[in-house]
Amino acid sequence: MEVCNGSDVAVLKAACDPAAADSSADGERRNSSLARCERTGIAAATTPLANNASTTAGSLPPWRALVITNLQNAVRIVGFGVCVGFAALPVARAEESVSRFKPAISDEAAAAVSQMSKTLLARDLSITAKTIRVYLDVSGQPLHIFHTMKIVVHRPNQIAVESTGDDGSHNLFYDGKSASIFFPDSKEYAVIAASGDIPSALNEVLEKTNVDYPLTGLFTNAPDKVLLSDAIAAWQVGTANVDGVECRHLYFIQKSGIDLELWVEKSKAATPHRLIVTHRSLPGQPRFIAEFTSWKTQPTPSGTGFAFRPPADAKRIELTAASAPEAERSK
């Protein structure tokens, strides 16, 4: 799993290293996880994190602030898919020296994730997600950035996302031919050539604009494999009530130094209701938190627009790779 923290890119390694035990509060928690790793025969190596850098968007226009905020400390989860940016600016992965290990995936966790994957493969999906990104600012204080996203999907190649949050509003439309990003606050929009399935198109959007869209892993062709492919341990912690729904509380330790907690409905559908991602190896251990509501798998209403039609007073802007240096200068 690759993580971008500000403009610096860090490649995180396996988190199960008995030599890394310490006496801090988090060390005690990690040591507990290490003990679990030892009991299941897991052995892996850790690698120090690259230099951390963070900036603030200040009083930039809304769409600029959005780009800057998404560039800094963006949570990128290839494991479950707060992927595409929360997958990725071009990243060079360092050579991994992870020792051989036997993955310890419990039957309960594997079965729940498999059930969830089948549900997510529905041709039509709609969902509301409330998310929080938690990271350190330049003074070392934790910041919490809130968003609400309404997502409508028609597989394999159409998606509409309405996002509002502390760093402004932005909407995404992809109709299988092109992707459009609209910033309602400034009445600006950009159109990007894109093709392929939904994750492929959103990757193109990220590469060309540095605007990320989380939770893309929900819309891959194999959500279960995406989640479990990086896991060195996964088990069911227990059950919990999430907004009146009984859920299985699952825990995953990733080779890349990231821990995930996932709450899925205790039913045949195993619909996800909550996700917490913790970057244990990053300074301040930034987190991404999401709660999901209003899941629907009915056919998409005929009035749903995946093709963007700009308002008459909207201004088209060019958000291409060439605009990235300008965003960097704005920092």
User: What are 105-134's pLDDT values in tens digits?
Assistant: 999 999 999 999 999 999 999 999 999 999
Give the model confidence (pLDDT) of 130-146 as tens digits.
999 998 999 999 999 99
The amino acid that residue 210 corresponds to is: N
Residue from 81, 89, 54, 78 nearest 68 by CA:
54
Q: Does domain 2-321 have CATH number 2.50.20.10?
A: yes
Task: State residue 54's pLDDT score.
Answer: 36
Express each pLDDT in 40-50 by its tens digit.
332 222 222 23
The per-residue pLDDT for range 153-189, each reduced to its tens digit, is 999 999 999 999 998 999 999 999 999 999 999 999 9
Q: Would you list the domain boundaries of the chain?
A: 2-321
Q: How many other CB atoms are there within 10 angstroms of residue 186's CB atom? A: 18
d(CA 202, CA 34): 36
C-beta of residue 251 within 8 angstroms of C-beta of residue 237: yes
CA distance 198 to 155: 8
The whole-number pLDDT of residue 120 equals 96
Indicate whether 247 pLDDT > 60.
yes
Q: Beta strands of 195-255 (E only): which ranges?
A: 231-242, 245-254
What pLDDT shows up at residue 128? Answer: 97
| Stretch (H or E) spanning 209 | helix 198-209
* Model confidence at 217: pLDDT above 60: yes
User: What is the number of residues in the chain?
Assistant: 331
Q: What residue ranges in 57-113 does DSSP mark as E strands? A: 104-105
Q: Distance between CA 36 and CA 30 in Å, rounded?
A: 10
pTM: 0.69
